[in-house]
Structure 1
Amino acid sequence: MSVGVLAHLFGSLPYKELAPKVAASGFTHVQLALWKAISDVDFSKPGNISPGLANAIGEQFDKNGVSISVLGCYVHLFERDVELRRANVNRFKELLRYARFFGAPMVAAETGRNEGGDYTDRDWSVMKETLEELAEEAEKWGVFVGLEAANDHLVGTAPELARMLEEVPSSNIGVVIDPGNLLTAANFHNQNQVIEEAFKLLGSRIIAAHAKDRIMLENGELGTATAGLGGMNYELYMKLLNHYKPHVHIIMEEAKEHQMAQSKAFIDEIRGRV
């Protein structure tokens, strides 16, 4: 397992500046969200990606010794506004079509969330229909849809993600595991059970992993921190990750640039001995 990083943690930069900056920070792979990380190409709407553009970006990273392990697609996949949802789905499908030209094996996302968490059976049905459409596109191009459960999202728990995978049984859908996204103020004291349940239900479907930390704040809320600066059981996380998916790519989240080396070393040290 190698530790990579979210490319946009370095800010939004021209891709010819971004790739060497990632490499200089000691990372060999990234999760790349085009419209978050790249400033010199307009990715604000679908339609402007070509094999040539994707190759140019992928080659720039490659010549700096950095691969694109994940294309990130931060969109709301069950948006109740039909027109907006169609735009979001089209954007995701465009990334699936061109992922291989970037050198990326997957396009990943959380499902999306509504303010207040007022989810309905209709929302679930729409998400299922969306995932079926995305899986069909992924199957055409030989890439994966990476789906991530996240607290407060429609698919917010490991059991909910397991249910969605069962209802859309495509081998081109995989799991981006992130225990930090499954923890809440209510279950943080019982985090080992939450983490173990996630791997029991989803371990065989994992295709990438995220790394951040969680910390209980004085006001009783659960905060987020870079790996190593919180109270999440990384020993257990890395042990299970090694067991279920040796050599899976780990992508660091949350870290500021001055924290990256320390956080990466923290993860590397643990995964090297568990």
Structure 2
Amino acid sequence: MNQPVPLGAFARIFHVQTAVQLAEAFRAHGLTQVQLNLSTFGFPTLPTEIEVSSPTLEGIRDDLVAAGLTLWGVSATFNTAHPDLSRRMDQTALAANFIARLGCTGAHAATLCSGSRDPGNMWGFHPDTTSESAWRDFRTSLDVLLPAAERSGVLLAIEPEPANTVADVDRALRLLRELGEDAHRIGFILDPANLITNVAPSDHKYTLERAFGELGDRAICVHAKDVVAWSSTLAGQGVVDYELVGRLHRDLASGVPLIIQDATPEELADVVKLLRTSIERSVA
């Protein structure tokens, strides 16, 4: 019998100040999985121990667990391929220290950005992001983060994104090959909207089937958003085939969550309904 898909959302969807308020908002929508950026609570994404202490992190965990929620992932995003070496090294060191402290949160993953040569936007397109030098800088950053993840027991979650160094399935597979024994500390987020960006509609099905087939055994999360805004999707003008995503999700390991991104609080109830309906139809 198929188990229910664990459904969650980005914490930043909600305008809250505390973990208790966040938990109430999640429970109101029947969501159980939290992807958290500490900026939700007004902290830096990569805080020092002075800015966010371990007791504070433990308190966030306790408030979420008390409400029956799972803190699936915590953002440790920064530009791992930033063109400025000094900035990149400083951010890498800050991220490593933060990731090493995440064991107390009970989080499954620390989410990363594989980086861009765009100095102002880690997810921005830049023609040099596909260069071997950008790849080497990303790998150098990642090599510093791997021991931190080992210490805290979290996985480093990487999402293939078209404007980043790990742009697609092929580059994700390259990363696994290069990491060798260290690959066990990496997990992939599969985002159907990102995967089909710049792909002809006739190739959407093949692209998603290949991504889930090639990376599925290393997938630890699936993101739910669309190539268009949720307002368009809810109006019947969506691009991502979530019935197909539901079928592909069934072949992933048990417990891999589906986490909603980019919805507004006002849209969220309808997005949850759409996803649950699509998943039900995919089983029929």
TM-score by length of 2: 0.85
Partner of residue 123 from structure 1, selected from 129, 134, 137: 134
Q: Is the 8 A contact 1:50 1:98 kept in 2?
A: no
Match in the other structure for 1:132: 143
| Residue 182 of structure 2 is aligned to residue 180 of structure 1 | no
Deviations 1:131-175 (A, max 9, x none): 222122212222100111111112111111111121113201111
Match in the other structure for 1:54: 57
Q: Is the 8 A contact 1:95 1:107 kept in 2?
A: no
Q: Is the 8 A contact 1:99 1:105 kept in 2?
A: no
State the percentage of identical aligned residues: 23
The runs of 4+ residues in structure 1 deviating greater than 6 Å are: none
The CA deviation at 1:224 is 4.0
Partner of residue 279 from structure 2, selected from 266, 271, 274: 271
Does the C-alpha gap of structure 1 residues 16 and 265 become closer, same or farther in structure 2, counting only changes over 3 Å? Answer: same
* Alignment partners' CA distance in 1, 2:262 and 2:275: 14
Match in the other structure for 1:234: 242
The CA deviation at 1:228 is 4.9
Match in the other structure for 1:4: 8
| Residue 264 of structure 2 is aligned to residue 256 of structure 1 | yes
* Alignment partners' CA distance in 2, 1:227 and 1:61: 32
Match in the other structure for 2:160: 149
Amino acid at match of 1:130: S
Which has more strand, going by share of residues? 1
Deviations 1:54-106 (A, max 9, x none): 11111111222222111122311121212211232123223322222122011
| Residue 211 of structure 2 is aligned to residue 198 of structure 1 | yes
| Residue 109 of structure 2 is aligned to residue 106 of structure 1 | yes
Amino acid at match of 1:203: G
Deviations 1:215-259 (A, max 9, x none): xxxxxxxx3437953121212212111112232111101111121
Runs of 5+ consecutive residues of structure 2 not aligned to the other structure: 119-125
Match in the other structure for 2:179: 168
Q: Is the 8 A contact 1:178 1:210 kept in 2?
A: yes
Match in the other structure for 1:96: 99
* Alignment partners' CA distance in 1, 2:38 and 2:164: 22
Q: Is the 8 A contact 2:83 2:117 kept in 1?
A: no
Q: Is the 8 A contact 1:226 1:263 kept in 2?
A: no
Q: Is the 8 A contact 1:226 1:254 kept in 2?
A: no
* Alignment partners' CA distance in 1, 2:176 and 2:27: 35
Amino acid at match of 1:88: Q
Q: Is the 8 A contact 1:110 1:149 kept in 2?
A: no
* Alignment partners' CA distance in 2, 1:93 and 1:237: 33
Amino acid at match of 2:148: E
- Tell me, what secondary structure is at the counterpart of 1:13? coil
TM-score by length of 1: 0.88
Runs of 5+ consecutive residues of structure 1 not aligned to the other structure: 215-222
Give the root-mean-square deviation of aligned CA atoms: 2.1
Q: How many residues align?
A: 264
